[in-house]
Amino acid sequence: MSAVATLPRALPPLDHEQLLVRRGPRSGLLTIVAVHSTVRGPSLGGCRMWTYAEPADAVRDALLLSRAMTYKAAVAGLPLGGGKGVIMLEPGMRLTARRRRDALRDFGETVEQLGGAYVTAEDVGISSRDMPVIAEETTHVSGLAVSRGGSGDPSPFTALGVETAIAATCAAVFGSPDLRGRSIAVIGLGHVGSRVATRCARAGATLVVADVDEGKRALAERLGARWSTPAEALRAEVDLVAPCALGGLLDAESVVDLRCRAIAGAANNQLAADDVAELLAARGILWAPDFVVNAGGIVNIAVELEPSGYDAATARRRVRAIGRTLADIFAAAAEAAITPLAAASALGERRLAEPGEAARRALASRRVFAQGAKPAAG
C-alpha cells in the first residue's frame, strides 16, 4: 500500500455533469471537483487530500469516486447525487500549516464556483478540524461540529454502517449475524477502520488488523488483535476481510490468494475492475458492494438537510437500515444468479430513473441549501 496513488492513466467514461480542475491561487495546488449526478439532489462527497504521481491520476480518482457516490446515495434512497473533491499533493510534498490552510481555502473557493451543485465533506487526509477552514470560502460544507449546527465527524456513522453490513454478510454466508467467534481481518485503521475493528472486537470477533502505520500496533494490543501487514491480512485465513483503507486492492491476482469466505469493508472502489466481482463469485467469496457498505456517513449527513434539524438517533436508525438493504441485494443476486455488484447497480439505476419523485426530492434538497436550513457553512 503505497502512500502515492498510482492509477492507470486512462480516464473512465466521462458521464459526469461537471468536472472542475483549478489551481489554487494561495497554495498553488490543484483542486479538483467531479460532479457525477444531481438527478436526485445536490451531489455530496468528501474531499481527499492525497499524493498522486500525476494530475491525471488525481482526476481519475475524483471521477471514479464521484460516480460511486451517485450509486451510494441512490441505493440508500437519499435525495442526493454523487460528487467528489481532491486536493492533489505531489510525491514527497510536505505542507506547512500555513500552506495546508491555504489549500483548504482554495478548495473552498473551487466548491463555491459550482454554485451548490456539490456539497463537500471530509475524506482521506481531511479531518473535522479542516471543515471550518473550507467553510470560510463556501456555504456548501457538511459535517461541521454539532456546536455549529452540523453533525460532526461522520466516521462513527460510517463505522456503524460497516459493522451492520458485516453482520448482514455473515448472516448470508454463515446463517447468523452474530459476530461472536467469527474471525475478521480489518485492513486500514484510520478514522473508520479503527472504529470498525473496535466494534467487531466488542461484538466478540477474533481480529487480524493491519495498517501501513506501525503506530497503530497500540490499537491492536488494546483489542487483543493479531498485528499483520496489509498484504498478509488480505490473504489471512479468516471468515471475513474488511478493507478499510484505499481502494483497488481486489484484482485478478489478489483474488487467487484469498482465503476468506466474505468481504465487507469501508474502502471505496475495492475492485480494481468490475469484472473482479465475477472472479470473487467464481471462488465462492461473497463480496458486499462497497458503495452499499460504507454509506453510513452520507446517510448521517443527509439528516442535516432535513428542515426539522439534525437528530443523531434518526441518523443511527437509518444507518442500521444498511443491513436490510444489503440482505435484499444478496437475495436479489441469488435469485437472478448475478453478482451482488450487478444487483446493487441495478437497484441504483432503478432509483436514478424514478420519475417525478426523484425530481421532487432533488428540488426540495436544493431549496434547503439555498435557504440556509443547513448549518452555516454547511
> For residue range 333-375, what is the model confidence (pLDDT) as tens digits?
999 999 999 999 999 999 999 754 544 454 444 434 433 333 3
Contact present, 113 and 76 (Cβ < 8 Å): no
Domain 156-296+323-347 has CATH 3.60.21.10: no
Give the pLDDT score at 11: 63
- pTM recorded for the entire structure: 0.83
Domain 4-70+80-141 has CATH 3.40.50.2300: no
The domain segmentation of the chain, as residue ranges, is: 4-70+80-141, 156-296+323-347
Give the span between the Cα atoms of 276 and 306, in whole angstroms: 38
Q: Which amino acid is at 124?
A: V
Other beta carbons within 10 Å of 290: 26
Other beta carbons within 10 Å of 107: 30
Which of 112, 130, 113 is closest to 121 using CA atoms? 130
Give the span between the Cα atoms of 45 and 67, in whole angstroms: 10
306-319 tens-digit pLDDT: 888 888 999 999 99
Give the pLDDT score at 35: 97
Region 70-74 average pLDDT: 95
- Which helix (H) or strand (E) segment is 186 a member of? strand 183-187
The DSSP code for 298 is: H
Give the span between the Cα atoms of 4 and 53, in whole angstroms: 6
Other beta carbons within 10 Å of 317: 12
Q: Where does the pLDDT of residue 378 fall: very low under 50, low under 70, confident under 90, or very high at 90 and above?
A: very low
238-272 tens-digit pLDDT: 999 999 997 889 999 999 999 999 999 999 889 99
Catalytic residue among 72, 84, 216, 374: 84
Lowest mean pLDDT among 96-110, 116-130, 301-315: 301-315
Same fold flag, 4-70+80-141 and 156-296+323-347: yes
> Is 216 an active-site residue?
no
Q: Does the pLDDT at position 172 exceed 70? A: yes
Other beta carbons within 10 Å of 95: 15
Which of 58, 63, 9 is closest to 29 using CA atoms? 58
